[in-house]
Structure 1
Amino acid sequence: MKKITFCCCLLFSLIFLSFKKDPTAVTQTEVVVKTPFEMPAIKIPDFSKCKEFSIIDFGAIKGNKEKTSEAISKAIAKANKAGGGIVVIPEGEWLTRKIHFKSNVNLHLKKGAVLLFSEDPNDYLPAVRSTWEGYECYNYSPLIYAYQCKNIAITGEGELKAKMDVWKEWFARPKPHMESLKRLYYLASYNKPMKERQMVNDSAHFRPQFIQFNRCENILIDGVTITNSPFWTIHPFLSKDVVLRNLKVYAHGHNNDGVDPEMSQNVLIENCVFDQGDDAIAIKSGSNQDAWRLNTPSKNIVMRNCVVKNGHQLVAIGSELSGGIENVFIDNCTVVDGAKLNHLLFIKTNERRGGYVKNIYMSNITSGKIDEGILGIETDVLYQWRDLVPTIERRLTPIKNVYLENIKATNVKFVSRILGQKELPIENIFLANVNADKVSGEKSIHENVVNFVAKN
């Protein structure tokens, strides 16, 4: 009997220990954001009690791409196995290939550290499950990639930098590239399986995103500088609970948006500086049939206390918005005088998109000269797609409940240009104290708008 009792006690002790929380594992903290809509607290990882893993201890050597890449991969695996860990990039320049995250890992760049990403496309193979302009496909791996991960972070005072020697040559869109675009459009339009959507070949030249979090949760990027990008710079895709703060983002190539939350929810972007060749923030939710299948809106997205030095728009919504976009709050941001900018807020869609846009709030914005105007809403934006491929299924986009308050620019062509469709007018646009020192054209240009109210 005593032997049985002892065995039972030992068994229960082992079970208890197996469930006991590791005091050095990653934990979570909550970020509460005050918004005009109901928004849950954002849960992000806390690595303050986690062990550090320097890449030097895993064989990293400055200037040696192979050794450094291998060391980063080993350190990430070790941190993941420990239940939470900090992979440390020390001071100096470290040449690397792609980086693939695992759960419960913080990639931490010390002050003076530079992770320099190779310009060789072969360093981003084999192809991974990714996206191109709203369509899912297999493409070159993003330079930093996470797939179905939880509790991941990039922190520190260092720099992530992309070598652009090859990517800048791929900015052009010659006929072979456009033919690959057409092929992906038809594959997605007829819901072909992912295994058929292999977009890496000699001529497609679909550039990878710099950072993509694909189907991930509990994400933090804090403090780092990001320089150059082959394509979109930071791309949370089908992800939840994302905080991007204290970042300096500079990328002046083609399609170099700063942040592209796509079909993602509970996102906070704060205290960042954006100097972009495209939109500072571009909120998206997929294209056409692909997004209708995934049926996931971008929702609860906040941008606050940011500075924009250049960009096409302070915030763009669309044109890839087929999954729907709702509950967006842009507050207390500045566009510096002399910046190259088209709009502060630009909502764009077309007859192929469907989806919806609602509950968009922008307040307390100051800007210098804007090439176009403060608010733009257009429903016939097709870019290169207009003559490239036909409309396979026509779905219009309902747009309603847009609120702008306390916004000031120095010089614009118009304050608002809203071009709705007769079949589906745009509804409920409210402007309060939205002004420019000089308006060179017609102040309000409106077609098919119901319930537009402007007050000073």
Structure 2
Amino acid sequence: MKKIILCLTLLLSLLFLSFKKGQSSVTQTEVTVKAPFEMPTIKIPNFSNCKEFSIVDFGAVKGDKNKTSDAINTAIAKANKAGGGTVVIPEGEWLTKKIHFKSNVNLHLNKGAVLLFSEDPKDYLPAVRLTWEGYECYNYSPLIYAYQCKNIAITGEGELKAKMDVWTKWFARPKAHMESLKRLYYLASYKKPVEERQMVNDTANLRPHFIQFNRCENILMDGVTITNSPFWTIHPFLSKHVVLRNLKVYAHGHNNDGVDPEMSQNVLIENCVFDQGDDAIAIKSGCGIDAWNLHTPSKNIVMRNCTVKNGHQLVAIGSELSGGIENVFIDNCTVVDGAKLNHLLFIKTNERRGGYVKNIYMTNITSGKIDEGILGIETDVLYQWRDLVPTIERRLTPIKDVYLENIKATNVKFISRILAQKELPVENVFLKNVTADTVKGEKSIHENVINFDSK
């Protein structure tokens, strides 16, 4: 009997090992990042031991968005079920509808592959949970959407491209659109459940994000080109451990930021090229009561070795920053001569935001002409919201500990402009070797600043 039990045990062990050998396995790679603050090691997925799933094997047909979309989603489900896998987009142009990630999946675009996303809003229904300009709601699905996923990636030398026929028309903000934004503001401000904030109707026209990682962990984007976007281009929201590297992002529509880390932590953006109609990087942390209750700041964010060809700012902080923003490091970046740019660093907030900003570092930056100046900090930036809705709850934003060093531009209006409230001055701003060949106006324009030093 003992011999039989021993033989059965050995047989079961061999079967288990054989089963495991045939399974895909996602491992993790640790990325160490040096910063002027304690920066945790970032953990990203490694799919080198995982099986590949070509969308052609699941019925994808060039030019047929229904078959291709079904094939992509089937391949994602198969890769997830296998415990990890790489969904391969072969060379050629593949028209598709929305893509929804599952955990342990790498979407890989081969060289010469183009995923072309439909312009039909119906292809991004049903509505999903996301945010729109800092407020959680249900809206059109992002073109690529991941919700509560772990170990996900988008890699390769191919291109993600959005057809813009309809979204371009939606860039306008007519009265019906603004009324929908007002409704969302009131729903959020008066603590209505997110499920009641349904923003898809005939007139709201709240454009979808291109890529949103919503409440995800261990995210990698590496190598791909992204062309056009209905709204924000890459949006990690309430996500941790994010590496975005070797990307080429081009989007010149309305609100076309390159990357918007929002209430996200341990983020590295490196070796990317940004050509934007809005900010290259815009670090955010939500609006009002939603963000105040979540208590999740954007934290530990490093941008390095990037090139900006156009953008409103190299880096913007806010204005949606109610959850707080801390530990940001921008290093060794270049803004090309001839770029359209307002500031290198612009920190903006208003009396409705609350939150806080601290420990912001920018070093080793070169830039051509800047329309405004190198550093801007303003605490009364409301844009169209100033007269659109009233302030329901007033909370000011403490801003302190901002460090700029070794920064050079060719032509600016000012080096620094800091406009703060008398009741809550900005504190501790230090500039060292921050210069411009030509300063057309006053070098420093300051209201309500405590402890400013420039060397």
The aligned counterpart of 1:65 is 65
**Structure-1 separation of matches of 2:151 and 2:295:** 24
Deviation for aligned residue 1:11? 11
Deviation for aligned residue 1:309? 0.3
The aligned counterpart of 1:200 is 200
Amino acid paired to 1:352: R
CA contact (8 A) 1:217 1:240 kept: yes
Amino acid paired to 1:389: V
Aligned CA RMSD, in angstroms, stands at 1.7
The aligned counterpart of 1:366 is 366
1:278 aligns with 2:278: yes
Deviation for aligned residue 1:9? 4.0
The aligned counterpart of 2:212 is 212
The aligned counterpart of 1:29 is 29
**Structure-2 separation of matches of 1:18 and 1:449:** 67
**Unaligned stretches of 5+ residues in structure 2:** none
**Structure-2 separation of matches of 1:7 and 1:149:** 41
SS at match of 2:384: helix
**Structure-1 separation of matches of 2:36 and 2:15:** 47
Superposition map of 1:315-334 within 5 A: 315-334=315-334
**Structure-1 separation of matches of 2:187 and 2:12:** 55
The aligned counterpart of 1:236 is 236
CA contact (8 A) 1:23 1:49 kept: no
Deviation for aligned residue 1:49? 1.1
Deviation for aligned residue 1:395? 0.4
CA contact (8 A) 2:305 2:333 kept: yes
**Structure-1 separation of matches of 2:11 and 2:102:** 32
**Structure-2 separation of matches of 1:401 and 1:139:** 37
Amino acid paired to 2:184: L
Deviation for aligned residue 1:415? 0.2
CA contact (8 A) 2:23 2:83 kept: no
In 2 relative to 1, CA 150–18 (structure 1 residues): closer, same or farther, beyond 3 Å?
A: farther
The aligned counterpart of 2:43 is 43
Deviation for aligned residue 1:17? 5.9
Deviations 1:8-32 (A, max 9, x none): 9479849976996876311100000
The aligned counterpart of 1:149 is 149
1:100 aligns with 2:88: no
Amino acid paired to 2:396: L
In 2 relative to 1, CA 436–37 (structure 1 residues): closer, same or farther, beyond 3 Å?
A: same
Superposition map of 1:256-335 within 5 A: 256-335=256-335
SS at match of 1:309: strand
Question: What's the TM-score once normalised by structure 2's chain length?
Answer: 0.97
Deviation for aligned residue 1:261? 0.1
Amino acid paired to 1:379: T
CA contact (8 A) 2:288 2:353 kept: yes
**Structure-2 separation of matches of 1:197 and 1:11:** 56
CA contact (8 A) 1:221 1:245 kept: yes
Amino acid paired to 2:452: F
Amino acid paired to 2:222: D
1:409 aligns with 2:409: yes
In 2 relative to 1, CA 18–418 (structure 1 residues): closer, same or farther, beyond 3 Å?
A: farther
SS at match of 2:387: coil
* Count of aligned pairs: 455
Deviation for aligned residue 1:293? 1.4
**Structure-1 separation of matches of 2:110 and 2:163:** 20
CA contact (8 A) 1:375 1:415 kept: yes
CA contact (8 A) 2:103 2:149 kept: yes
**Structure-1 separation of matches of 2:10 and 2:287:** 57
Deviation for aligned residue 1:7? 9.7
1:345 aligns with 2:345: yes
Superposition map of 1:111-126 within 5 A: 111-126=111-126
**Structure-1 separation of matches of 2:67 and 2:347:** 46
Question: What's the TM-score once normalised by structure 1's chain length?
Answer: 0.97
CA contact (8 A) 1:88 1:110 kept: yes
SS at match of 1:166: helix
**Structure-2 separation of matches of 1:392 and 1:246:** 43
CA contact (8 A) 2:225 2:247 kept: yes
**Structure-1 separation of matches of 2:11 and 2:55:** 39
In 2 relative to 1, CA 19–90 (structure 1 residues): closer, same or farther, beyond 3 Å?
A: closer
**Unaligned stretches of 5+ residues in structure 1:** none
The aligned counterpart of 1:74 is 74
**Stretches of 4+ aligned residues off by more than 3 angstroms:** 1-24
**Structure-1 separation of matches of 2:424 and 2:282:** 24
Amino acid paired to 1:52: E
Deviation for aligned residue 1:182? 0.6
In 2 relative to 1, CA 443–52 (structure 1 residues): closer, same or farther, beyond 3 Å?
A: same
**Structure-1 separation of matches of 2:301 and 2:18:** 38
